[in-house]
Amino acid sequence: MPEEISLRLRDQFSSVSTSQWDALIRADLKGADYDRTLLWRPDEGVTVKPYYRAEDLADLGDARFAAPGAFPFLRGPGVPWVIDDTFDPPGDAIRADAWHDEGATPVEEIAWAVAAGVDRVADRTAQGTSVDEAASSLTFVFAVGSLFFVEIAKLRALRVAWAQAVAAFGPANPDSARARLYVRTARINKSLYDPDTNLLRATTEALSAAIGGCDRLAVEAFGFDQHLAVNVQRILKEESFIDAVADPAGGSYYVEALTDALARAGWAQFQQVEADGGFAAALAGTIATRLAASRAAREAAVSSRRQTLVGVNNYPDLSRKAPASAHLPADAAGAWRLAVPLEAIRNRTLQHVQATGRCPRVLLLTRGDVQMRAARANFCRNFFGCGGFGIEQSDDYADHGADLIVLCSSDPESVPLAEEVCAAVQVPVLVAGNPRDQADALTSAGVKGFVHAGSDMVQTLTFWQDALDM
């Protein structure tokens, strides 16, 4: 019988300390600020590092070693989730999903859900209901968006925070402190013009919900067929076997640390809600104010393209002229979504086409430096394409028939090109880029505006729709 050989690969590599890793990273940054370059802050009170190690879990306590289905339920219910063909939550459920689709952050969703649940349990126990019955009868409804790992951690963090809140009431059965989570895919990030992209988003969202440990899951069809929505979950179960593993994210340094950070931040904000008078008081004042501010900030981020919404403010499907109409959630038409302002611009273009029989055309005039003209033409194709404009690209403007001409060249070449083109055409001429040193000369040559990475997309597209009498 051959001799057994024990492979201990770990012993063949010398250990590397965190300080050594950081030193290498800082050397590669070549003077760039470490925090500004590599730290990500997706939510207030939470900072995501570029990498995590075992030492980052040192203060997490024993909760991460609890079995699935055991208090404090960090690792999920311990049983596979249930597929729901349609979204139909209990009428008395705590609807954190509504806050998500009004712009709430993951920390706010956790804090407000726990605060609402505590109010419910306190009210029912005051009327004589046992803590166990009051807590175990609650259902929390959450929406899961596109921030894949954040959404996984959000569901795990909510269970930990809720278990801690219920434990303070002294239930007889520890299982009463488990949060029952009904999850659906988000609506805030969906677009009427991008059903295929919506399906891709729904797929990653469903995977986040499954890995995060939901009890029930509904994938909503948003412009794509309902059978595809159901099949997303079937594939996760029947082909990917996600339900065959309890807490697939368990043990990941990143997910465990992010879960703990969200739970701590959510708990701190929940405590602030309680200190300020409880959930009812927050619902009447603070929550509405914070949601309004969040909506405004997120709309500004999409309009300025600091946040990419694929197909909406970048990478548009230029072949799709009309919005999807089939298989939409019942209240989608009146709901606030991030895509709505740009959808309104595309709809305005569509109505103009239907009224006049002609789509407004933008000519991307490419001259000069090969790399710069290609980059700027691609930028403008996406920019004006998101408004539903027809896009053409050429190095010649003779017999162009365009409504707008955008000069795509390098900054040093822009002034002579503008002088040539503006003198020869009768339509507005824009410049791709932001050549501040040449701005006065370009304006004097007849240039009517600039399109660049700092442009507000909604304002710019609306301005040119107005200027073209659309």
How many C-beta atoms surround the C-beta of residue 193 within 10 A? 24
Confidence of residue 2 (pLDDT cuts 50, 70, 90): low
Q: In terms of domains, do 291 and 406 share one?
A: no
Q: Is the pLDDT of residue 62 over 90?
A: no
Q: Is residue 307, in this structure, part of any structural domain at all?
A: no
**CA dist., res. 103 & res. 200, Å (int):** 21
Q: Is the pLDDT of residue 232 over 90?
A: yes
In Å, the largest CA–CA distance within the chain is 91
Q: Is residue 35, in this structure, part of any structural domain at all?
A: no
Q: 226-234 vs 195-212: helix axis angle to the nearest 10?
A: 30
Single-letter code of the amino acid located at 176 = S
Q: How far is CA 57 from the centre of its chain?
A: 26
Q: Is residue 326, in this structure, part of any structural domain at all?
A: no
Q: Is residue 46, in this structure, part of any structural domain at all?
A: no
Q: In terms of domains, do 202 and 69 share one?
A: yes
**CA dist., res. 389 & res. 350, Å (int):** 9
- Give per-residue pLDDT as tens, 408-458: 999 999 999 999 999 999 999 999 999 999 999 999 999 999 999 999 999
- Domain-ending residue, one of 301, 326, 360: 301
Task: Kindly report the average pLDDT of the chain as a whole number.
Answer: 94
Please state the rounded mean pLDDT for residues 193-219: 96
Q: Is the pLDDT of residue 1 over 60?
A: no
Alpha helices (H) in 77-215, listed in sequence order: 96-100, 106-126, 131-136, 148-167, 195-212
Confidence of residue 333 (pLDDT cuts 50, 70, 90): low
**CA dist., res. 399 & res. 396, Å (int):** 9
Please state the rounded mean pLDDT for residues 331-342: 86
Q: In terms of domains, do 252 and 105 share one?
A: yes
Q: Is residue 7, in this structure, part of any structural domain at all?
A: no
**CA dist., res. 428 & res. 418, Å (int):** 11
**CA dist., res. 420 & res. 446, Å (int):** 10
Q: In terms of domains, do 78 and 171 share one?
A: yes
- Domain-ending residue, one of 275, 301, 327: 301
**CA dist., res. 341 & res. 399, Å (int):** 34
Q: In terms of domains, do 293 and 416 share one?
A: no
Q: In terms of domains, do 84 and 194 share one?
A: yes
Q: Is residue 132, in this structure, part of any structural domain at all?
A: yes
CATH code of the domain covering residue 138: 3.20.20.240
Q: In terms of domains, do 361 and 274 share one?
A: no
**CA dist., res. 216 & res. 227, Å (int):** 18
Poorest-pLDDT segment among 156-165, 199-208, 397-406: 397-406
Per-residue pLDDT, 198 = 96
- Give per-residue pLDDT as tens, 263-320: 999 999 999 999 999 999 999 889 999 999 999 999 999 999 999 999 999 999 988 8
Q: In terms of domains, do 201 and 135 share one?
A: yes
Per-residue pLDDT, 211 = 97
- Domain-ending residue, one of 284, 301, 318: 301
Per-residue pLDDT, 75 = 93
Using only C-alpha atoms, the chain has a radius of gyration, in whole angstroms, of: 27
What does the DSSP 8-state code read for residue 2? Answer: P
Range of the domain at 148: 61-301
- Give per-residue pLDDT as tens, 361-391: 999 999 999 999 999 999 999 999 999 999 9
Per-residue pLDDT, 5 = 66
Q: Is residue 86, in this structure, part of any structural domain at all?
A: yes
Q: In terms of domains, do 116 and 203 share one?
A: yes
**CA dist., res. 294 & res. 255, Å (int):** 25
- Here the tokens at position 42 are 């997706």
- Here the tokens at position 341 are 């302002």
CATH code of the domain covering residue 355: 3.40.50.280
Q: In terms of domains, do 430 and 284 share one?
A: no
Per-residue pLDDT, 204 = 98
How many distinct structural domains can be found in the chain? 2
Question: H helices then E strands: how many in the chain?
Answer: 16, 12
Poorest-pLDDT segment among 24-38, 40-54, 83-97: 40-54
Q: 286-303 vs 340-356: helix axis angle to the nearest 10?
A: 50
Q: In terms of domains, do 403 and 281 share one?
A: no
Q: In terms of domains, do 287 and 412 share one?
A: no
Q: Which residues of 403-432 are buried (b: 16+ CB within 10 A; e: fewer)?
A: bbbbbbbbbebbbebbbebbeebebbbbbb
Per-residue pLDDT, 69 = 93
**CA dist., res. 166 & res. 177, Å (int):** 5
- Give per-residue pLDDT as tens, 145-175: 999 999 999 999 999 999 999 999 999 999 9
Q: Is residue 416, in this structure, part of any structural domain at all?
A: yes
> Is 265 in contact with 105 (CB distance < 8 Å)?
no
Q: Residue 181's beta-bridge partner residues? A: 140
